[in-house]
Structure 1
């Protein structure tokens, strides 16, 4: 074939292909759309940046008095170490905001105080071994129906309590039925929908203590062998207790035991031996847990006890010398480790929970459950979650000030502390299907 003829043939073929191609595309397009409709692509974007995984078991139970249609299927998480994990982005955001919940202490209401960045609200904790579900307020109320839950301890106990109230309020409105003490340090709410009572008791040492004042000595006094009766006198009314202490043990204090001075922490000028605060924290927690076991362990109704572990502060610089917490993102996994005082406080609290369990078993008390709510690491990785300067309303309304007080201890609400209660709910769920007699 001549060269000219070959070129002419190619031109004709190309022309034919160009005319045919649109028809081929139009005929394939409906098929592709149908394929996508019935089988969506696996890489379509999700509200989460990483998909959760779970180690779980499914238990199917049949009731002899019910029909097959009444079969109940429940899924229980296997043991989950909530301590290990990382913070990942979550586009869903919190269940509530600072303008719709009326129980937030002003100093933690970062949104209403004008905090401009909102990125700290869009993270969730992803444990390494399992999936931590989003908080379910209705489920929580159902599990606590007809019961009294008490938060006992320092301002971190109050911080966790107010987080819980705000999340529960998205399902049922609580009524404030009791308040007393300076700054309303003793309060109780009632959820009529489920007959659930939730209280907070101010007791920064759990044991008997005399707090320092502006007019008296500049140190606290602790009586390590006596539980604080301001909350313990109501033990018979409580079904579940959440204990939270730690930060107040860092303050100057003199310690007493068996009627005599044991020593002190940072008490220059006083004739006492410096003994630090780690052993004192241990003694206070031991007195508290043993008192609960002794008073309630013999009773068939029992009591459940949660100890929330130490929540680290994030001051960059000295807290009383213009220290601040300016970070706006969590630490990456591995960027910060639990060490030093934070590790020692956590270790002491977890060890005392385990010791109390052993003590209860040794004494034959089967009607109390104790567990640690281990939040130390997940709290350590959230330097962005504190009120910082927004503990005060609009602190920069008149420009940048030379000195602005920062709160780098407590947590914004909503904020990372909501995760404490997500884990709390999972522990209650586990207890629901684990009778005390099986422990």
Structure 2
């Protein structure tokens, strides 16, 4: 096997002078409007300073429960324990920060509005955790937290989906500049937000570990579970916050290696290998990626923030390749749709490996260098069968009348849409990191 070539050979752009924008103050607002703004707005009265990862003499680990500035049960703004993973979708008449024409970075297949999706109800829901409120996304606050830093999404097409959601949300405040693009389907890209000198990247790495995607005439992938994919790992010295997001590629047939040994395979009856499934190797991939990230950053004296986005379930009714569709137009109630066994196992793998990374980091004495969080979205994603492109992965699929069979996308998410909530929670995680730093905890 040859050594993987790092697709990002260029260094980050030099810091750009930030010209502070002074918003106009609003005066004499009608009381009813003021109450509405106070209820919905999550924008703090003053902008917090950028996150300084080296200030905190401890390692913050967040799984389904995150410490973050949040509205607690008493309605006061302060550091609270918020379980963002559990709650319900409630109607929200504010709608998204952007639309299908105001954001230029939406992948064509996820631009449901421009492809003629007739219903718009899927745009008017917000996630309501059980014991706290999730604030509306504040793009200026997000950019301020990451001033002069590099945020990298690493993973498969779901990582790209979350990245493109974030780009659209941020561009509602400050437009980004694409300055690097490489690979098939532009799988390695980097943008810069000059207003705050924030870089945001996507690295295609559907396994996180070293992998060889199936070639022509071959029906399985090859995964090397003890070695990370250097296409992203060799850039760790340039990355301040990394978001890992993988899952669906582990359902495909694969042969697993560790060192020079073959551990077994998943769904490969013709190869005469031991069938070991994919749950264990999925965990091991996270373990290898987290361990390598922490060790390399700390060895160089640098800090790192790591976020693991948990598995996002699909909503095909029927087989995806046999006219399976996702026709729902409203969220599920929690009682309607419990997590399936596979979805729960995949979710647990991400959350529990985050906890294991904490113990490992503590044992190695990596105080003040590492923050790790699980962005636990599996349940809230399961409750949104209406949020996928469905047949509108293609433009105006019914323009010529009813079709006998129309391919559906019931895996990825419409933009704008439900996946914007992933980034709202990610901002709260970053607020929690800052609050922990200020509190010395």
Instruction: Report the TM-score when normalising by structure 2.
Output: 0.83
1:35-94, CA deviations, whole angstroms, 9 ceiling, x for partnerless residues? xxx998xx99x998xxx9634797xxxxxxxxxxxxxxxx43301001110000000100
1:87-166 superposed matches below 5 A: 87-166=89-168
Q: Aligned partners of 2:39 and 2:337: how far apart in 1?
A: 27
Is 2:375 the partner of 1:357? no
SS at match of 1:434: helix
Structure 2 unaligned regions, length at least 5: 1-29, 41-69
Q: Which residue of 2 aligns with 1:211?
A: 213
Question: 1:139, CA displacement in angstroms?
Answer: 0.5
Q: Aligned partners of 2:383 and 2:125: how far apart in 1?
A: 11
Is 2:182 the partner of 1:180? yes
Question: 1:277, CA displacement in angstroms?
Answer: 0.1
SS at match of 1:273: coil
Q: Which residue of 1 aligns with 2:285?
A: 284
Q: Aligned partners of 2:31 and 2:154: how far apart in 1?
A: 52
Q: Aligned partners of 1:145 and 1:47: how far apart in 2?
A: 28
Q: Which residue of 2 aligns with 1:320?
A: 321
Question: 1:418, CA displacement in angstroms?
Answer: 0.1
SS at match of 1:291: helix
From the superposition, tell whether residues 54 and 109 of structure 1 become closer, same or farther in structure 2 (CA, over 3 Å). same
Q: Is the 8 A contact 1:86 1:378 kept in 2?
A: yes
Question: 1:430, CA displacement in angstroms?
Answer: 1.1
Alignment match of 2:398 (pick from 390, 396, 399): 396
Q: Aligned partners of 2:363 and 2:31: how far apart in 1?
A: 58
Instruction: Report the TM-score when normalising by structure 1.
Output: 0.83
Q: Is the 8 A contact 1:185 1:202 kept in 2?
A: yes
Question: 1:438, CA displacement in angstroms?
Answer: 4.2
SS at match of 1:330: coil
Q: Is the 8 A contact 1:240 1:303 kept in 2?
A: yes
Question: 1:437, CA displacement in angstroms?
Answer: 9.9
Question: 1:435, CA displacement in angstroms?
Answer: 2.4
1:334-393, CA deviations, whole angstroms, 9 ceiling, x for partnerless residues? 221123100010011111000011000000012011110000111000000000000011
Alignment match of 1:54 (pick from 72, 80, 85): 72
1:408-435, CA deviations, whole angstroms, 9 ceiling, x for partnerless residues? 0000000000000000000101111222
Q: Aligned partners of 1:57 and 1:418: how far apart in 2?
A: 24
Structure 1 unaligned regions, length at least 5: 1-37, 59-74
Q: Aligned partners of 2:39 and 2:83: how far apart in 1?
A: 25
Q: Is the 8 A contact 2:71 2:80 kept in 1?
A: no
1:146-295 superposed matches below 5 A: 146-213=148-215, 215-295=216-296
Q: How many residues matched?
A: 383
1:154-196, CA deviations, whole angstroms, 9 ceiling, x for partnerless residues? 0000000000000000100100010000000000000110000
Q: Is the 8 A contact 1:47 1:90 kept in 2?
A: no
Q: Which residue of 1 aligns with 2:343?
A: 342
Alignment match of 1:379 (pick from 377, 381, 390): 381
Question: 1:319, CA displacement in angstroms?
Answer: 1.0
Runs of 4+ in 1 over 3 A off after TM superposition: 55-58, 298-301, 436-439
Q: Aligned partners of 2:407 and 2:366: how far apart in 1?
A: 48
Q: Which residue of 1 aligns with 2:427?
A: 425
Q: Which residue of 1 aligns with 2:7?
A: none
Q: Aligned partners of 2:267 and 2:219: how far apart in 1?
A: 11
Q: Aligned partners of 1:244 and 1:183: how far apart in 2?
A: 18
Q: Which residue of 2 aligns with 1:410?
A: 412
Question: 1:233, CA displacement in angstroms?
Answer: 0.3
Q: Aligned partners of 2:391 and 2:240: how far apart in 1?
A: 38
Q: Aligned partners of 1:209 and 1:373: how far apart in 2?
A: 24
Q: Aligned partners of 1:123 and 1:341: how far apart in 2?
A: 26
From the superposition, tell whether residues 291 and 438 of structure 1 become closer, same or farther in structure 2 (CA, over 3 Å). farther
From the superposition, tell whether residues 317 and 39 of structure 1 become closer, same or farther in structure 2 (CA, over 3 Å). closer
Report 1 or 2 for greater relative contact order, CA contacts < 8 Å, sequence distance ≥ 6: 2
More displaced stretch, 331-340 vs 305-314: 331-340
Q: Is the 8 A contact 1:309 1:376 kept in 2?
A: yes
Q: Is the 8 A contact 1:104 1:413 kept in 2?
A: yes
SS at match of 2:89: strand
Q: Aligned partners of 1:228 and 1:426: how far apart in 2?
A: 29
RMSD over equivalenced CA pairs, Å: 2.4
Q: Is the 8 A contact 1:264 1:275 kept in 2?
A: yes
Question: 1:129, CA displacement in angstroms?
Answer: 1.1
Q: Aligned partners of 1:436 and 1:320: how far apart in 2?
A: 51
Q: Is the 8 A contact 2:71 2:78 kept in 1?
A: no
